Amino acid sequence: MKDDRTIDPEPRDPTGPGGDANGAARVQRLDLVNGPIFPTAVKLALPIIVSNLLNLGLGMADMIMVGRIGKEALAALVISNTLMMLLFAIGFGTGFATITFVSQHTGAGRHKLARRAASHALMFAVMLGFVMIIVGNLFLPDLMSLFNAEEEVTRYAISYTDVLFDWMPFFFLLALGMAIMQGLGDTLTPLIIMVCVNLVNILINYVLIFGVWGFPRLGIVGAAVGSAAARMIGSMAIFIILTSGKYRMVLRPADFRPYVQQFWGILRLGVPNSLQSLLRNVNVMILYRILSLTYQPTVAQASLGVGFGAEGLAFIPLLGLNIATGAMVGQNLGAGKPDRAEQAAWATLKTGFVLMTIACLAFLLIPGQIIALFTGDPDVIEAGSWYLRINAITQIFQACFVLMGCMRGAGDSISPLMAHIAGQWIIRLPLAFILATMTGLEEWGVWLAMATSSAIESTAYFWLFRRGHWKKIRVRIDSEA
């Protein structure tokens, strides 16, 4: 068996499915390895930003509607989503590995390997989804007990999450299918799909949560059915597009022949990315546990959830820039243009800095109005407003999050992981526990610890980017097993 770093002998295929070898998606006609950098980066990032805003809209729709049931249901939704994000961490890391492989092989003109990476990502999504179904059926009550929430909150959370577990393959298929398209340089098609997913989700939520038009009133379970059904429709749409023969990448039955080396390549890059996301979400679970020790635990936990939701509104543009940076860096490194890859990273970093400065000002000036978008509970609005005020300045530091996409697009998944561990585990958790339980600051102590650790972690990303080691990395695998 050959080493998985062997240079692929497949020649460039400028007339392969969909056109030129520079990776321009047929839908957007974006050339990521030639022409002006900043306009291309913006055009690539904008659909991702809107798509992720819509993805956040799925969660907001659930939160707003479920919030009308009561703060116990809202807290249940928050901790359930935290658990789901913990499990989605695996798919998130695999998604970045998929972008890396697809973008670098596309940039180098190795279309056969790009198709193989895409097909194996989809197969991995299905396998991972079925593993999660087993985990949910066996361990859901035990997982929920980790949050130490009140009995009614836990009961709501279990009923909501139990539905989602049964639909997990579709969640992963949607995420990795979108990653394939983004690696190709097509960010418009995922946007269109997410518009449809949102419309379906909101409609089913409204009907089943409140029991209108003759349908049963399911409450929080109706929100779970809406989210799951919408993602099923979105994932099936992506699969049909990729196999229809009318898209930039045309997946054929032969591409789904399993190669152990390809799965290993995805895991080799994806596991550190997944571990970072997994650790991030475990970190959040521990923060909820720390908040359960405060004077008003349900209020504190609910305010952290809505605070995350509000902060997510500001963070969504960064996520779009992050993914766009990964695609541009991957394709340009694959095409042998490391200097252009660095210029693309600088362009997205400057854009992120401007956007996060605006977010900082909004968090300082109108925090109460922002939190009120998620809940009408006055106690949660008060606590959530202080979350935004305290974390406002760190938004500027977090512009460096886009540089994580640069390193991941290059194939460096270890350095960001180390920066994360230092910021969120060595600094955040001990500081949060001390400030919340030993100083009388209660939830304020957690907010202060989060702000401090986020600034340090973001600074580490900038240092890693400036060091430049990522420009020397190339991702290569065998063309045949």
Q: Would you write out the chain's pLDDT as a tens digit for each of its 481 residues? A: 333 333 334 434 433 333 343 333 344 456 777 778 888 888 888 887 887 777 666 666 677 787 777 777 888 887 888 788 777 777 677 776 787 788 778 777 778 888 888 888 899 889 888 988 998 888 888 888 877 777 888 888 888 888 888 899 999 999 889 888 888 878 788 889 988 988 898 899 889 888 888 888 888 888 888 888 999 999 999 999 998 887 878 888 888 888 888 788 777 777 787 787 778 778 887 888 888 887 777 788 888 878 887 887 788 888 888 888 888 887 788 778 888 888 888 999 999 999 999 999 999 999 888 888 777 778 888 888 888 999 888 889 988 888 888 887 787 878 888 888 998 899 999 999 999 888 878 888 888 999 999 899 999 999 989 888 888 776 554 444 3
pLDDT of residue 29: 56
CB 443 within 8 A of CB 383: yes
Exposed (0-12), middle (13-18) or buried (19+): which is 285, by Cβ within 10 Å? middle
Rounded to an integer, what distance in angstroms lies between the CA atom of residue 193 and that of residue 187? 10
Q: Collect all residues with Cβ–Cβ distance below 8 Å to 185 and sequence separation of at least 6.
A: 23, 24, 25, 28, 30, 32, 44, 103, 106, 327, 331
Closest C-alpha to 308, from 282, 284, 274, 277? 284
Task: Report the C-alpha gap between 301 and 136 in whole angstroms.
Answer: 23
Handedness of CA 147, 78, 308, 95 (dihedral sign): positive
Do 278 and 358 form a contact (C-beta atoms < 8 A)?
A: no
- Note the pLDDT of residue 360: 92
Which residue from 208, 184, 255 is spatially nearest to 33, judged by alpha carbons?
A: 184
Contact yes or no for 154/190 (Cβ under 8 A): no
Q: Under 8 Å CB-to-CB from 342, ≥6 apart: which residues?
A: 468, 471
Residues 44 and 322 sit within 8 Å (Cβ to Cβ)? no
Judging by beta carbons within 10 Å of its beta carbon (0-12, 13-18, 19+), is residue 219 exposed, middle or buried?
buried
Contacts of 68 (CB under 8 A, 6+ apart): none
> How many other CB atoms are there within 10 angstroms of residue 293's CB atom?
13
Measured over the CA atoms of residue 8, residue 415, residue 450 and residue 71, the dihedral's sign is positive
Q: Which residues contact 290 (CB under 8 A, 6 or more apart)?
A: 429, 432, 433, 436, 437, 446
Q: Per the structure block, which two tokens stand in for 222?
A: 């109706």
Token code pair at residue 75: 């807290």
Determine the pLDDT at residue 474.
61
Distances (CA, A) of 446 to 254, 398, 417, 423, 439: 52, 18, 22, 14, 11
Within 108-167, residue ranges assigned H as helices are 111-145, 151-165
Enter the pTM of the model.
0.69
| Structure confidence at residue 25 (pLDDT) | 38
Q: Which three-class secondary structure state does DSSP give residue 187?
A: coil
Q: What's the rounded Cα separation, in Å, for the pair 399 and 357?
A: 9
d(CA 110, CA 240): 23
- What pLDDT is recorded for position 365? 92
- What tokens does 288 get? 């909820």
With CA atoms as reference, report the closest residue to 298 among 446, 150, 433, 145: 150
User: What residues contact 358, with CB distance under 8 A and at least 6 apart?
Assistant: none
Q: In the chain, what are the helix, strand and coil shares in percent, each to the nearest 5?
A: 80, 0, 20
